Amino acid sequence: MHSKRTKDSNAATATAVVRRRRPKARPSGLDAETAGGEYHSKAIGRALTVLECFPDADTSLSLSEIAVMSGFPESSLFRVLATLQSRSYLLRNADGSYRLAPKMVYGLVHERGEATRRQVHPLLDQLNRRFNETTSLAFLFGDRIQVIDVIEAVQDVRATNVLGKTLPPHCSSMAKVITAFQPRERVDRILQVYGLIRLSEKTTVDRLAILAEHDRIREQGWAQEQEESVAGICCYGAPLFDERRRVVAALSIICPLVRISPEREAEIVQALLEISRATTLTLRSQ
């Protein structure tokens, strides 16, 4: 009898032990964010907030400026900055200010390129439907300009563009207009990175002539390419500005030269300018 009671007691104890060890169900995915912040890491959150203070590769910020933007006290912020610097997410300038390291810049720029594509795609579609010509979008990635979106015309005879193509800054309307609005030293780098290569009989490879054309582009607000890279093709491009009024992208309409008249050219340019003036790219981290 005593042996039976002992066995029952052991079984109950074992059962109780198993029950005590049973883990609680944990939320997953987005549910974790709403579970009272239980799975939120304050340290990682602060580091990400600091990184999001830098809108681009050209911005340098001091400790006090980052403190104001992030809302963190300078005493604890300095430790966050030192950690990010030691792991090569931030670089420290000679004057003590900070800027994004190359590995952060690469990801940030591509994220903003994708954000630009999502924002501008409906505008490309609008232009494509209106003129039934190929429309394109290009974005400035460091010192190169790349096509990130294309909507082709629905016509047997049409001009095309290549998604992912790096554009020549001296003979592409989108690359011309993006380059023309950059600071002079960046213009020099962009031209040097690609090289002044002659792609057709009408390609301009004289540096002074290219810089003079940049002056005209800034004044009129748009750029043109006529058989400068491919025979029989013309293209019109307009700049797209971000919140800080810097040109980081451009959109274009490209078509066979045989379908262009002075009246149609004026209509295309006006449509591009209207979009350029009415559109501000929202690229800052939310």
- 49 and 112, same structural domain? no
Does residue 2 form part of some domain? Answer: no
- 36 and 84, same structural domain? yes
- 232 and 136, same structural domain? yes
- Find the Cα–Cα–Cα–Cα dihedral 262, 268, 272, 277, rounded to 10°: 60
- Find the Cα–Cα–Cα–Cα dihedral 198, 203, 208, 214, rounded to 10°: -130
Going by pLDDT thresholds of 50, 70 and 90, the confidence category of residue 21 is very low
Output the pLDDT for position 169: 95
Does residue 1 form part of some domain? Answer: no
- 124 and 59, same structural domain? no
CATH of residue 275's domain is 3.30.450.40
Longest dimension (CA), the chain: 109
**Which are the contacts of 86, defined by CB distance < 8 A and separation ≥ 6?**
none
Average pLDDT over residues 159-172: 93
Least confident of 15-24, 27-36, 57-66, 181-190: 27-36
- 108 and 14, same structural domain? no
Query: Among the three residues 62, 78, 100, which one is the final residue of a domain in this structure?
Result: 100
Give the tokens for residue 11: 């079984």
pTM: 0.73
CA atoms of 252 and 49, how far apart (whole Å):
36
Query: Among the three residues 66, 100, 134, which one is the final residue of a domain in this structure?
Result: 100
Taken as a whole, the chain contains a residue count of 286
Terminus-to-terminus CA distance in the chain, angstroms? 72
Output the pLDDT for position 282: 76
Output the pLDDT for position 55: 76
CATH of residue 75's domain is 1.10.10.10
Output the pLDDT for position 24: 46
Does residue 4 form part of some domain? Answer: no
Does residue 286 form part of some domain? Answer: no
- 275 and 241, same structural domain? yes
Quick: pLDDT tens for 130-156.
999 999 999 998 889 999 999 999 988
- 260 and 122, same structural domain? yes
* Residues facing 136 on adjacent strands: 150, 252
CA atoms of 166 and 249, how far apart (whole Å):
13
Q: Which long-range contacts (CB under 8 A, 24 or more apart) does 99-108 make?
A: 99/54, 99/57, 99/58, 99/59, 99/60, 99/61, 100/51, 100/54, 100/56, 100/57, 100/59, 104/51, 104/54, 105/56, 105/57, 105/142, 108/54, 108/56, 108/57
- 155 and 70, same structural domain? no
Quick: pLDDT tens for 221-258.
999 999 999 999 999 999 999 988 899 999 999 999 99
How many domains are there within the chain? 2
The DSSP annotation for 113-128 comes to HHHHHHHHHHHHHHHH
pLDDT at 6 over 70: no
Quick: pLDDT tens for 180-230.
999 999 999 999 999 999 999 999 999 999 999 999 999 999 999 999 999
Average pLDDT over residues 61-81: 93
Q: Which residue range forms the structural domain that includes residue 46? A: 10-100
- 202 and 83, same structural domain? no
- 88 and 75, same structural domain? yes
Output the pLDDT for position 12: 46
- 177 and 77, same structural domain? no
Does residue 235 form part of some domain? Answer: yes
Query: Among the three residues 100, 134, 151, which one is the final residue of a domain in this structure?
Result: 100
Going by pLDDT thresholds of 50, 70 and 90, the confidence category of residue 284 is low
Output the pLDDT for position 33: 40
Going by pLDDT thresholds of 50, 70 and 90, the confidence category of residue 30 is very low
Output the pLDDT for position 134: 96
- 93 and 137, same structural domain? no
